Amino acid sequence: MAASRMKRPVGAAERYVAQYDAFAANGAGGAPPWLKEIRAAALARFAELGFPTTHQEEWRFTSVASIAGTPFALPARRAGPAAKRVAPLFLPVESACRLVFVNGRYSEALSSADGLPRGVCAGSLAVALEREPELLERHLARHAAYAANPFGALNTAFLRDGAFVHVAEGVTFDAPLQLLFLSAPGAKPTVAHPRSLVVVERGARASVIESYAALHDGTYWTNAVTEVVVADGGHLELVRPQREARSAFHVATTHTLQGRNSVLRVHPIVLGAALARHDIVSVLDGPGAELVLNGLYLLDGTRHADHHTVIDHAKPDCQSHEYFNGVLADAGRGVFNGRIIVRPGAQRTDSKQTNHNLVLSEQARADSQPQLEIYADDVKCTHGATLGPLDEKEVFYLRSRGLSPEQARSLMTYGFGAEILGRLRHPLVRDALDRLVHGALEPPIDRGATL
Amino acid sequence: MLEITNLHASVEGKEILRGVDLVVHAGEVHAIMGPNGSGKSTLAQVLAGHPAYTVTEGTVRYMGRDLLDMDPEERAREGVFLAFQYPVAIRGITNAYFLRAALNAARKHRGQPELDPLEFMDLLAEKLKVVESDDSLMNRPVNDGLSGGEKKRNEILQMAVLEPRLAILDETDSGLDIDALRTVAGAVDRLRRPDNATVIVTHYQRILNYITPDHVHVLSEGKIVLSGGKELALELESKGYDWVRAEAAV
């Protein structure tokens, strides 16, 4: 397998090798030696792997030929957009900070972090590399394995800036930290490699919104990697609205690592991009840890979204609850692959996975694949997937209560989204996303009213 | 209020109703009893407008109008309510959201202003008392993960909110334990008014211990074969349905 991969022409990949050489030669020179080593190794790995093809099992349903075939360049650093154009792209909730990253680079002018509680650091990763080198050396690029992930390798090779969030031991607060990764596409196709590191220390509690959006439509590619560490007894809710432009490509990997009795709730909400691929790799690395992966994808036109998740139960007594719902209209295409590994000794694992797809047209398609790998005997693992059109029994039930067929259908469609959003703990964040989902679907009954 | 004349209906080409005649006036409670397979549930579904059933003959007048000419949602907005034997779950939609949508559809139809969420919550609090329930289910999805008894109670809550003129209860008593039955039947009894009517479709007599019917009908092989007062239900309980078949054959 590896040998045949090596023989495959990597013409498209060579473009990025050349880019890397230019990148390493100038602006990236300020990085500490350990990071330079990591970057060089990642670039070498990317050059080996090349772009994946649909002959590879992990990419069977998702072709990235359109990414490989487009000459993306690193964006030139220009003056940022006006603040008033950026403000509406944040979720309208009171936040501990609002940080903006334009094409992957932190924008101090557009960011505000006045409300940060003591013990919370949130800002530019590039700045943190200078100020907190030891902390970053311990975590950055240590969790996101890229040996089998060319996009993760490419992001790591171009690692320069992004978001850094650190919540010190025992610090708890409710107001979310908002991170907005903003693309400002230009005349030529550009690629950004935003990198985020979120560390929640022992017993700390925080909420982070990691948003992806664009100022306007255009051909661009976001290639993001986020590493999340929740230490023993820590608690993190991570909400991830992806609202890229309709022509955009969005490829991302989220790696999470949890300590003993920690709680992590991740909510990927896919509303944008022509082609989106999100890999989530979650390691439950301390007994008693709890993970919720709770995602939603709404796909119309010819939009395509692929979620590949790996939940690794490495220690006993952990729980994972995974729920992904998809609404597929027109010729939308949803892919879900959920792998659950229960390591030897991870007894009393409690794992639940569901993937429900509402397929609203003949041209729409959903693929769902559970993969269970269980190496312990005292475990509870359940999974279930459904796909299909709206249930006519339910339509009649709603009509018998006075709703028109159109109202019934839009209410039921909205329900696929509302079921996921109902698991968000922060009520105002939930309401804000509810409005976005309402806007993306045909609004039922009346808009903006939630009970 | 409701006048059914010579109603014939079939499903998938099989005739189930074979000439039902029934007249229901405002203020009345009718019980329709009968053995399994007699067509009781089909009658309830046909009155609600289920698209799987085809009416092949006969008429149904409701409030002076042709009921069979109305879509299911129009029947509902005009005050026809069917409490389902098997209520279905609606993914992601909370009871409160759903009930407000349903109530507002009817209010809009009647030219009344729609209720905003706060006004609706006030009304809902009153209606919850009728079914002796608290609001713990209101932010949970419609019928999702509910026990059989909770689903039936939920149907009656919907009935309390929508205040139908004509309520049809399809086997609402089935699957209920004695306490749940008392609660549900008590709620139905409290919702009786001189200007509304209730049709109770049931296999067993026991719900009629809590709601006294004005008329009892026995449906057998798609026709009403016997009608009487409340004492008929007790007679059926002691003698069984075979006795009716024998009577009807005479």
Using the Cβ of A419 and the Cβ atoms of chain B, whether some distance falls under 8 Å is answered with yes
Interface of A with B in 34-63 (CB under 8 A): none
pLDDT higher than 80, residue A2? no
| Binary contact (B88, A394; C-beta < 8 A) | yes
| Binary contact (A402, B73; C-beta < 8 A) | yes
Average pLDDT over residues A416-443: 90
* Count of Cβ atoms closer than 10 Å to residue B18 Cβ: 17
The answer for residues whose C-beta is within 8 angstroms of residue A44's C-beta and 6 or more apart is none
Of all residues in chain B, the percent with pLDDT exceeding 70 is 98
The answer for residues whose C-beta is within 8 angstroms of residue B128's C-beta and 6 or more apart is B134, B135, B138, B157
pLDDT higher than 90, residue A29? no
Least confident interval from A303-307, A382-386, A447-451, B199-203: A447-451
Using the Cβ of A2 and the Cβ atoms of chain B, whether some distance falls under 8 Å is answered with no
Closest CA to B216 of B201, B202, B204, B233: B233
More confident residue, B236 or A155: A155
| Binary contact (B117, A449; C-beta < 8 A) | yes
| Binary contact (B105, A404; C-beta < 8 A) | yes
Which residues of B sit within 8 Å Cβ distance of A? 48-51, 71-73, 75-77, 81-82, 84, 87-94, 96-98, 100-102, 104-106, 109, 114, 116-117, 120-121, 138-139, 141, 158, 162
Closest CA to B84 of B28, B29, B132, B142: B142
Gap between the Cα atoms of A214 and A180, Å rounded: 10
pLDDT higher than 80, residue B246? no
pLDDT higher than 60, residue A449? no
Using the Cβ of A73 and the Cβ atoms of chain B, whether some distance falls under 8 Å is answered with no
CA distance B23 to chain A (A): 22
Residues A75-116: tens digit of each pLDDT:
887 777 889 999 999 999 999 999 999 999 999 999 999 889
pLDDT higher than 80, residue A445? no
Tokens representing B233 are 């239900």
| Binary contact (B98, A411; C-beta < 8 A) | yes
Cβ–Cβ < 8 Å for A365, A333: yes
ipTM score assigned to the predicted complex:
0.95
Using the Cβ of A445 and the Cβ atoms of chain B, whether some distance falls under 8 Å is answered with yes
Per-residue confidence band for B36, with pLDDT thresholds at 50, 70 and 90: confident
Closest CA to A328 of A307, A305, A294, A308: A305
CA distance B229 to chain A (A): 30
Residue of chain A with shortest Cα separation from B45: A400
Per-residue confidence band for A137, with pLDDT thresholds at 50, 70 and 90: very high
Residues A146-199: tens digit of each pLDDT:
888 999 999 999 999 999 999 999 999 999 999 999 999 988 999 999 999 999
Per-residue confidence band for A15, with pLDDT thresholds at 50, 70 and 90: confident
Residues A321-353: tens digit of each pLDDT:
999 999 999 999 999 999 999 999 999 999 999
Angle at CA A229, nearest 5°, toward A270 and A64? 40
| Binary contact (A444, B51; C-beta < 8 A) | no
Tokens representing A335 are 């892919």
- Report, in angstroms and rounded to the nearest whole number, the Rg of chain B calculated over CA atoms: 18
Disruptive mutation site among B50, B91, B151 for chain A (greatest number of A CBs within 10 Å): B91
DSSP code string of A170-211 = T-B--SPEEEEEEE---SS-EEE--EEEEEE-TT-EEEEEEE
Average pLDDT over residues A406-418: 93
| Binary contact (A397, B96; C-beta < 8 A) | no
Gap between the Cα atoms of B228 and B201, Å rounded: 15
CA distance A361 to chain B (A): 19
* Count of Cβ atoms closer than 10 Å to residue A424 Cβ: 21
- The pLDDT value recorded for residue A442 is 62
- The pLDDT value recorded for residue A10 is 46
| Binary contact (A402, B77; C-beta < 8 A) | yes
Tokens representing A43 are 């670039």
Per-residue confidence band for A7, with pLDDT thresholds at 50, 70 and 90: very low
Gap between the Cα atoms of B155 and B83, Å rounded: 6
- Using CB atoms, which residue from B50, B81, B92 is nearest to A416? B92
C-alpha distances in Å from residue B78, one per residue of A230, A307, B169, B231: 56, 46, 17, 33
- The pLDDT value recorded for residue A27 is 59
Sheet holding B65-66, edge to edge: B14-24, B2-11, B53-62, B65-66
Cβ–Cβ < 8 Å for B40, B201: yes
Q: Mean pLDDT, chain B, as a whole number?
A: 91
- The pLDDT value recorded for residue A415 is 94
- The pLDDT value recorded for residue B243 is 77
Interface of A with B in 88-127 (CB under 8 A): none
Residue of chain B with shortest Cα separation from A399: B73
The answer for residues whose C-beta is within 8 angstroms of residue B221's C-beta and 6 or more apart is B18, B38, B39
Average pLDDT over residues A348-361: 96
CA distance A271 to chain B (A): 18
CA distance B84 to chain A (A): 8
CA distance B63 to chain A (A): 17
CA distance A385 to chain B (A): 14
The backbone torsions φ and ψ at residue B100, rounded to the nearest 5 degrees and listed phi first, read -70, -40
Closest CA to B22 of B36, B37, B2: B2
- The pLDDT value recorded for residue A28 is 64
Strand ranges (E), A215-359: 220-230, 235-243, 249-258, 263-270, 275-284, 290-299, 304-313, 319-328, 333-342, 350-359
Interface of A with B in 327-366 (CB under 8 A): 356
pLDDT higher than 60, residue A6? no
Closest CA to A353 of A342, A365, A345, A364: A342
Using the Cβ of A406 and the Cβ atoms of chain B, whether some distance falls under 8 Å is answered with no
| Binary contact (B48, A400; C-beta < 8 A) | yes
C-alpha distances in Å from residue B162, one per residue of A405, B63, B95, B107, B149: 19, 17, 13, 9, 20
Average pLDDT over residues A286-309: 97
Residues B175-202: tens digit of each pLDDT:
888 888 888 888 888 889 999 999 999 9
Gap between the Cα atoms of B31 and B212, Å rounded: 9
pLDDT higher than 60, residue A16? yes
- The pLDDT value recorded for residue A203 is 98
| Binary contact (B120, A396; C-beta < 8 A) | no
Gap between the Cα atoms of B32 and A354, Å rounded: 42
The backbone torsions φ and ψ at residue A222, rounded to the nearest 5 degrees and listed phi first, read -100, 125
| Binary contact (A451, B117; C-beta < 8 A) | yes
| Binary contact (A401, B71; C-beta < 8 A) | no
Residues A279-292: tens digit of each pLDDT:
999 999 999 999 99
| Binary contact (A451, B120; C-beta < 8 A) | yes
Using the Cβ of A411 and the Cβ atoms of chain B, whether some distance falls under 8 Å is answered with yes
Gap between the Cα atoms of B137 and B232, Å rounded: 38
Using the Cβ of A397 and the Cβ atoms of chain B, whether some distance falls under 8 Å is answered with yes
| Binary contact (B94, A451; C-beta < 8 A) | yes
Per-residue confidence band for B233, with pLDDT thresholds at 50, 70 and 90: confident
- Using CB atoms, which residue from B75, B101, B139 is nearest to A403? B101
Chain B partners within 8 Å of A401 (Cβ)? 76, 98, 102, 105, 158, 162
